[in-house]
Amino acid sequence: MTYNAQLLDGMVIFVEVVNSGSFTQAANNSGHSTSYISKEIHKLESRLGLRLMHRTTRSLSLTPEGEAYYQQCTLIITQAEEAESALSGQQLEPKGDLRISCPTSFGLSQMPHIIADFLDRYPLVNLDVDLNNRKVDMITEGYDILVRGAHQLDDSSLISRKVYSSHAVTIASPDYLARYGTPTHPNELVNHQTISYSYVKQPNIWQFVDEEQKPFQVHVKSRLLTNNSELELDLCMAGKGITRMPNFNLNGELESGKLVQLFTDFDRHKIDIYLIYPSRKHLSSKVRCFIDFVSEALNKDH
């Protein structure tokens, strides 16, 4: 490793400016003058050869490079605090902001009470929970943890921990089945209207397992493609087609008779929920606590 005496210069002040939202507030918090704070940020940007923030007399905002640098600096500072606490024999209480990306349907159906309990348990941690169904770049976009559902995760340098298991259900409304007939084998789906989820790799290819435990595919012609599972479910209940989705998206629709599950003689298509994070090493206490808390809560509930 090449020796660089200036490597950490300005890092703490930069993070304080971002967290404070202004040079003046950062100066008040740190006990320095505003001119000192300004000079330190200027020296840091000159050393890095990058503009980290846009600033006017009334506002401050990070550049894309500044946002990425802020995320890394925050992690480094947290790890340094934990290292000092460990040496002094103290346990550092989790604190700071935690950015999480979670699928909308799973977030709404499974996470509210878990998040509420986590906030009660760890009062110094602030959560920024983004419910979305798109594919995100957790490093570039600055997420600490991704919650993702998949039959099998893609190969990745990121670390994953399975915290929950569910399965896919193929469903239709009684009105749809009365109008178009009830298919008894997945291959018959080619003759039916279907509603597909657009954020999977191949939305028009549905996976099944036959009686001999062999996987097979059915190519469907989707009448509707959508990236929103709530819309998918609503239109299915409205009789607009057959759809397939994780069982955790449902909330009693099968039991109430609003929907009918098809192909119950075929083995379930497994869907697992994973927590994904950058590295097992040097996890901040807030990330480690959230992962353990969610895993324990989901296993307790199910």
Q: All domains of the chain, ordered by start, with CATH? A: 11-87 (1.10.10.10), 107-302 (3.40.190.290)
Would you say residue 302 has pLDDT above 90? no
Query: Largest alpha-carbon pair distance within the chain?
Result: 76
Highest mean pLDDT among 57-66, 98-107, 147-156 belongs to 98-107
Percent of the chain with pLDDT over 90: 46
Would you say residue 151 has pLDDT above 80? no
Q: Answer with the residue of higher pLDDT: 177 or 4.
A: 177
Q: Torsion angle, CA of 88/90/93/99, rounded to 10 degrees?
A: 50
The string of DSSP letters for 54-70 reads: EE-SS-EEE-HHHHHHH
**Mean pLDDT over residues 65-73, rounded?**
88
Q: What percentage of the chain's residues is helix, strand, coil (to nearest 5)?
A: 40, 25, 35
The CB density around residue 109, as the number of other CB atoms within 10 Å, is: 15
Q: What is the CA radius of gyration of the chain?
A: 25
For the stretch 10-64, pLDDT in tens is 899 999 999 888 898 889 988 889 999 999 999 999 999 999 998 876 778 899 8
**Mean pLDDT over residues 103-125, rounded?**
93
Residue spans of beta strands (DSSP E) within the chain:
53-55, 60-62, 96-102, 125-131, 145-150, 159-172, 194-197, 205-209, 215-219, 222-226, 242-246, 260-262, 270-277
Among 115, 12, 100, 120, which Cα is nearest to 287's? Answer: 100
pLDDT computed for residue 5 by the predictor? 66
Query: Please, which contacts does 263-268 make with residues 24 or more away whose CB atoms are closer than 8 Å?
Result: 263/170, 263/183, 263/184, 263/185, 263/186, 263/208, 265/211, 266/186, 266/208, 266/209, 266/210, 266/211, 267/208, 267/209, 267/213, 268/167, 268/168, 268/209
Structure token pair of residue 6: 């200036």
* Residues 6 or more apart whose Cβ sits within 8 Å of residue 22: 60
Confidence of residue 275 (pLDDT cuts 50, 70, 90): very high
Would you say residue 191 has pLDDT above 70? yes
- pTM of structure: 0.64
pLDDT computed for residue 57 by the predictor? 67
**Mean pLDDT over residues 55-82, rounded?**
83
pLDDT computed for residue 89 by the predictor? 47
Q: How far is CA 197 from CA 96, 215, 262, in A?
A: 35, 20, 18
For the stretch 152-176, pLDDT in tens is 666 566 888 889 888 899 999 999 9
Confidence of residue 280 (pLDDT cuts 50, 70, 90): low
pLDDT computed for residue 158 by the predictor? 80
Distance CA 200, CA 22 (A): 42
Confidence of residue 213 (pLDDT cuts 50, 70, 90): confident
**Letter string b/e over residues 52-90, b meaning 16 or more CB atoms within 10 A of that residue's CB:** bbeeeeeebebeeebbbbbbebbbebbeeebeeeeeeee
pLDDT computed for residue 140 by the predictor? 80
Q: Give the mean pLDDT of the chain.
A: 87
Distance of CA 291 to the CA centre of its chain: 12
